[in-house]
């Protein structure tokens, strides 16, 4: 199975991109960054039918799916199921800890604010 994992790409499913970011949904940014930093090959796809689903983001790989609302989230599922474990490689690096905290906290808050409060609603209209 390890050889198959290396040949095929994962697919990260998120909301549409906006604000110059790969996704406009703050919960998707940590998963996107995690996969990028771990040099995992993946395709980015957008769920245009149900962008408010609590399952977003999710990662697909053949018949395997790791949903955001199951088993501790996408990143925990990918680690537990042996797809990627970036934390084991960089756990002690202070820059990783601060970057992860930044994406999880204030960047996510800034996107939510810009989407719902700091604009005239055109951003939300384009995303939804």
pLDDT at 68 over 70: yes
Name beta bridge partners: 43.
11
pLDDT at 49 over 70: yes
Least confident of 71-85, 88-102, 103-117: 103-117
Residue 107 is given by DSSP the state: I
Task: Please report which confidence band the pLDDT of residue 67 belongs to, taking 50, 70 and 90 as the band edges.
Answer: confident
Q: In what order do the strands lie in the sheet with 42-46?
A: 42-46, 10-14, 58-61, 64-67
């Amino acid at each position: 199975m390890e050889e198959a994992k290396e040949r095929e790409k994962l697919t990260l499913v998120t909301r549409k991109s906006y604000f110059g970011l790969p996704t406009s949904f703050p919960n998707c940014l940590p998963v996107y960054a995690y996969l990028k930093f771990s040099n995992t090959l993946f395709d980015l796809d957008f769920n245009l039918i149900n962008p408010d689903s609590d399952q977003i983001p999710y990662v697909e790989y053949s018949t395997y799916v790791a949903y955001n609302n199951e088993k501790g989230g996408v990143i925990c599922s990918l680690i537990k199921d042996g797809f990627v474990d970036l934390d084991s490689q960089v756990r002690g690096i202070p820059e990783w800890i601060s970057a992860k905290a930044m994406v999880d906290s204030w960047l996510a808050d800034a996107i939510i604010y810009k989407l719902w409060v700091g604009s005239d609603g055109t951003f939300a209209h384009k995303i939804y």
